[in-house]
Amino acid sequence: MVDAGLKRVNLYELISSLTIACDLVSPRLGNHHLQVAYLAYHMGKEINMPTGTLRAVMLAGLLHDLGALSYEERHELIENEPPHAHDHAYRGAHLIEQLPGFAEVAEIVRHHHVRWDNGEGSMFLGREVHPLSHLLHLADRTVVQIDKNEEVLGQVSGIIEHVERQRHTAFMPRHLDALHAVSSVESLWFDLVNPQLQQIIPQIVVFDTLNLTSDDMIAITKIFAKVIDFRSSFTATHSAGVAHTAEKLAELIGFSKEERKMMLVAGYLHDLGKLAIKNDILEKKGHLNESEYNAIRSHTYYTYRLLQPIKAFEQINLWASTHHEKLNGSGYPFKLKDEDISLGSRIMAVADIFTAITEDRPYRSGMTFEQSVAVLRKEVADGAICPYVVDVLLKNYEEITFIRQTAQQAFRTDYNQYLQYPGKGLK
């Protein structure tokens, strides 16, 4: 029996694992969310914002680019602010507002690319803009000017001059004044380019350790799954299928109610590391070359390392990050075998394969019952996956298939709405 006491979760550990994953896709993006959050916090502190407000702007900084769908879109946002920059902000806000207690954070993110425009930017398309959106905008446009290949202090005057030229037009004067004040502190710039910024932030902001129910955790990690999967139509519903398949298998095998909920969370998070992989590899229809396959093999390693700082997630991390290990030792990334692979990990591996081969993708239909049985039986014969878990699945194939399809259809509906969000009004 797994201890049900995993419910005390540090908010920063949870949120930073997701935002760091989003930035892993490119060295150019490294620590971008952390940098924006850190600078926005210090500017807010300079203008004497209360503690609760500082916490909200920090969280908004950590989450502000969640709505960017691809590596290319992220890079475009770093290089400039294209006319469609508002799209990802609205998409991100749409996801963030589904997190319990994050309504204000979502509002800050929603308009973080709105220009001040001599005060006209206090409204956007008939909607009031949260004042902290403008603070976040300045923090974002400031840190993107940092050249990671050059010594940072020598860049400060040029960076400040760049944003100062946009006083009254792009940025609020009050916020620029705060930036001027904090920019004189050398340690701020050293922190911004420090690879250990993730460890520095909790030293300046105390984040709550939340007493979350299992249902709260499911709701939160379900949003994580959407961030992971909505990058591509190829994988838009995959994590939902794996999560609900694994949960049902765990029930049939005799896991407790609490363990089954943990399995659902692990399923939602199992591909977190794929945020570090470019879309052109994830969406490649043909055979992967060696380099591309090596990139794919890294995703379970990143899942493990990204979830590792979350102390309450030790068991969940084990189940999530070992779903490509094989009983014969041929899997990855840890080369576990036989008794080293827990029953929960074996369930996750079978759920992942079953979902991948039976779900419909834009370029092919899912396998039939006969085809999927042949694939699963071959994997068992090769000594790759657990025969017991496969037998349970096949004996309950129709019920599990219905559960998988229902969960994935709900995610597909959400995905189609997400693609349309916010709509033509912002184009």
**Peptide bond preceding 333 in cis form (omega within 30 of 0):** yes
Give domain status of residue 4, yes or no.
no
pLDDT at 427: 45
The arithmetic mean of pLDDT across residues 124-135, rounded, is: 95
pLDDT at 307: 94
Same domain, 292 and 379: yes
pLDDT at 426: 52
Q: Which residue has the higher pLDDT, 203 or 422?
A: 203
Query: Of 194, 225, 244, which closes a domain?
Result: 194
Q: Which residue has the higher pLDDT, 206 or 185?
A: 185
Question: Is 330's pLDDT higher than 70?
Answer: yes
- The secondary element (H helix, E strand) that includes residue 313 is none
Which of 111-115, 193-197, 227-231 shows the lowest mean pLDDT across its residues?
Answer: 227-231
Same domain, 242 and 151: no
Same domain, 328 and 219: yes
Question: Is 315's pLDDT higher than 90?
Answer: yes
CATH of the domain at 273: 1.10.3210.10
Structure-token pair, residue 244: 């609900």
Give domain status of residue 249, yes or no.
yes
CA–CA dist 230, 25 (Å, integer): 15
If pLDDT is split at 50, 70 and 90, which confidence band does 380 have?
very high
Is residue 243 within 8 A of residue 264, CB to CB? The reply is yes
Q: Flag whether the pTM goes above 0.85.
A: yes
pLDDT at 7: 65
Give domain status of residue 330, yes or no.
yes
Question: Is 322's pLDDT higher than 90?
Answer: yes
pLDDT at 421: 67
Same domain, 291 and 345: yes
Q: Which amino acid is at 50?
A: P
Same domain, 183 and 299: no
Q: For 301, how many CA atoms within 13 A lie in the half-sphere containing its CB?
A: 13
Closest residue by Cα to residue 181 from 60, 280, 42, 319: 42
Question: Is 180's pLDDT higher than 90?
Answer: yes
Same domain, 189 and 215: no
Give domain status of residue 25, yes or no.
no
φ and ψ of 19, to 5 deg:
-70, -35
CA 326 to chain centre: 26
CA–CA dist 15, 139 (Å, integer): 19
pLDDT at 259: 95
If pLDDT is split at 50, 70 and 90, which confidence band does 2 have?
very low
CA–CA dist 90, 145 (Å, integer): 24
Please state, for a pLDDT cut of 90, what percent of the chain lies above it: 70
CA–CA dist 102, 84 (Å, integer): 24
Same domain, 170 and 297: no
The arithmetic mean of pLDDT across residues 175-191, rounded, is: 97
Give the DSSP letter of residue 98: T
If pLDDT is split at 50, 70 and 90, which confidence band does 280 have?
confident
Query: Of 133, 167, 194, which closes a domain?
Result: 194
Give domain status of residue 202, yes or no.
no
Question: Domain range holding 80?
Answer: 32-194
Give domain status of residue 229, yes or no.
yes
Closest residue by Cα to residue 66 from 421, 426, 416, 410: 421
Query: Of 169, 194, 219, which closes a domain?
Result: 194
If pLDDT is split at 50, 70 and 90, which confidence band does 283 have?
confident
Which of 127-136, 165-174, 226-235, 333-342 shows the lowest mean pLDDT across its residues?
Answer: 226-235
pLDDT at 176: 98
pLDDT at 3: 45
Same domain, 263 and 116: no
CA–CA dist 230, 221 (Å, integer): 14
CA–CA dist 330, 168 (Å, integer): 60
Give domain status of residue 13, yes or no.
no
Structure-token pair, residue 217: 């955790």
Closest residue by Cα to residue 262 from 226, 223, 216: 216
Same domain, 130 and 230: no
pLDDT at 240: 97
Q: Where do runs of H (alpha helix) occur along 24-171?
A: 32-46, 51-63, 71-79, 85-96, 103-110, 131-143, 156-164
Q: Which amino acid is at 177?
A: D
pLDDT tens for 55-108 read 999 999 999 999 887 777 877 877 778 878 899 999 999 999 988 889 999 999
CA–CA dist 109, 127 (Å, integer): 14
The arithmetic mean of pLDDT across residues 270-285, rounded, is: 89
- The secondary element (H helix, E strand) that includes residue 417 is helix 397-420
Number of domains in the chain: 2
Instruction: Give the residue carrying structure tokens 């912002």.
Output: 426
Same domain, 119 and 225: no
pLDDT tens for 331-346 read 999 999 999 999 999 9
Structure-token pair, residue 391: 């037998």
pLDDT at 19: 87
Same domain, 228 and 336: yes
Instruction: For the chain, give the mean pLDDT.
Output: 91
Same domain, 180 and 245: no
Give domain status of residue 301, yes or no.
yes
